[in-house]
């Protein structure tokens, strides 16, 4: 599984997101074995937002897919916000990332089972 973190600058929102992603992946590694587990940091320069499908503030993708499915459909440069309780934040909340990883793991296991592996040992 490849996690890409797109950002403009390494500010507090970036630091919160990066730290949280590392912690969450460490927790999942206790339960699952991954064939590949990589975190890639991608700094987005002005003018290259559409090319990198950067949706504002911090954007994270699992194997090229946006956490919230924003890859689908036309590109928009609307700023991205998340909610934590009643508060709007610009970092990726832990529950959003956990949900995306769980969905990815479930689909990876389902694909492996469709290929005949009844007890997958590794997540692709």
Using one digit for the tens of pLDDT, what is the confidence trace for 33-86? 888 899 999 998 887 776 776 766 788 999 988 887 665 665 555 667 788 999
* Domain region containing 69: 2-114
Q: How far is Cα of residue 6 from the mean position of the Cα atoms in its chain?
A: 10
Residue 120 covered by a domain: no
3-state secondary structure of 28: helix
Residue 121 covered by a domain: no
Residue 64 covered by a domain: yes
Q: Are strands 2-7 and 87-89 parallel, antiparallel or unpaired?
A: unpaired
User: In the chain, what are the helix, strand and coil shares in percent, each to the nearest 5?
Assistant: 35, 20, 45
Over residues 19-31, the mean pLDDT reads 95
Residue 124 covered by a domain: no
Model pLDDT, residue 122: 67
Lowest mean pLDDT among 33-42, 85-94, 112-121: 112-121
Residue 57 covered by a domain: yes
Residue 119 covered by a domain: no
Which phi and psi angles does 86 have, rounded to 5°?
-95, 0
Q: Where are the alpha helices (DSSP H) in the chain?
A: 12-31, 94-114
What CATH number should be reported for the domain holding residue 8?
Answer: 3.40.30
Give the chain's domain count. Answer: 1
| Cα–Cα distance for residue pair 16/106, rounded to 1 Å | 26
Confidence class of residue 90 from pLDDT cuts 50, 70 and 90? confident
pTM of the model: 0.83
**CA-based nearest residue to 60, from 112, 9, 21, 107:** 21
Residue 93 covered by a domain: yes
Q: Are 49 and 79 spatial neighbours (Cβ–Cβ below 8 Å)?
A: no
Residue 123 covered by a domain: no
| Cα–Cα distance for residue pair 108/103, rounded to 1 Å | 9
């Amino acid at each position: 599984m490849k996690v890409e973190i797109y950002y403009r600058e390494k500010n507090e929102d970036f630091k919160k997101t990066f730290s949280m992603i590392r912690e969450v992946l460490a927790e999942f590694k206790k339960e699952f074995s991954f064939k590949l587990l990589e975190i890639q940091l991608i700094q987005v320069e002005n003018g290259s937002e559409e090319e990198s499908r950067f949706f504002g503030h911090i954007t994270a993708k699992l194997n090229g897919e946006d956490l919230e499915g924003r890859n689908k459909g036309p590109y928009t440069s609307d700023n991205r916000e998340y909610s934590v309780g009643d508060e709007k934040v610009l970092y990726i909340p832990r529950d959003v990332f956990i949900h995306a990883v769980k969905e990815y793991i479930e689909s990876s296991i389902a694909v492996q089972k469709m290929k005949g592996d009844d007890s997958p040992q590794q997540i692709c």
